[in-house]
């Protein structure tokens, strides 16, 4: 879809801090992360929400989400992850995307009120992307 931001990221016409790029999908840092290292995983084809993802693509897509969810704590030293999908409501970009957010006990996240933070620079964002990418590569 030419007007879809995430399709443009998948196509490489819009820059992003990529952590993974496979046949099943692309993972990149959220530019307004809940916590630094917050990754968005998107399928390659444009689908608006989870219910639109063809059944044949589910295993590969969720295997990729699972890999990212395993890599984030390893890469960033968090205790775990919060994995979530919004469908339509609270979906700022109408392209299916799965949030993989690093979590540590006492990090202050409560319920569904997600505070947002910013990276200090592109270099800092790139360093987070690199760390998750390296952990993903090691998990292959």
CATH number at residue 71: 3.30.428.10
pLDDT-based confidence at residue 87 (cuts at 50, 70, 90): confident
Structure-block tokens of residue 69: 């969810």
Enter the pTM of the model: 0.85
Instruction: For residue 110, report the phi and psi dihedrals to the nearest 5 degrees.
Output: -130, 125
Number of domains in the chain: 1
Strand partners for 85: 98
d(CA 55, CA 90): 24
Residue appearing with tokens 């006492």: 106
Question: Which residue in the list 38, 95, 97, 99 is annotated as catalytic?
Answer: 97
Is position 97 annotated as part of the catalytic site?
yes
Residue appearing with tokens 């530019």: 31
Check whether 139 has a pLDDT greater than 70.
Answer: no
User: 35-44, 56-65, 94-103, 105-114: lowest mean pLDDT where?
Assistant: 105-114
SS3 label, residue 63 = helix
Check whether 50 has a pLDDT greater than 60.
Answer: yes
The per-residue pLDDT for 38 is 97
Q: Which domain, by its residues, includes 58?
A: 5-138
The per-residue pLDDT for 112 is 60
Check whether 108 has a pLDDT greater than 90.
Answer: no
Check whether 116 has a pLDDT greater than 80.
Answer: no
What share of the chain in percent tops pLDDT 70?
95
Structure-block tokens of residue 58: 């589910």
């Amino acid at each position: 879809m030419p007007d879809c931001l995430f399709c443009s990221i998948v196509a490489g016409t819009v820059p992003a801090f990529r952590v993974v790029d496979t046949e099943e999908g692309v993972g990149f840092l959220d530019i307004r992360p809940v916590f630094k290292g917050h990754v968005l995983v998107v399928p390659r084809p444009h689908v608006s929400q989870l219910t639109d993802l063809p059944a044949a693509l589910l295993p590969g897509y969720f295997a990729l989400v699972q890999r990212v969810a395993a890599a984030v704590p390893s890469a960033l030293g968090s205790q775990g992850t919060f994995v979530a999908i919004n469908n339509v409501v609270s979906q700022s970009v109408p392209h299916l995307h799965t949030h993989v957010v690093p979590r540590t006990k006492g990090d202050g996240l409560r319920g569904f009120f997600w505070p947002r933070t910013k990276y200090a620079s592109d270099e800092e964002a790139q360093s987070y992307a690199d760390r998750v990418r390296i952990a993903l590569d090691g998990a292959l």
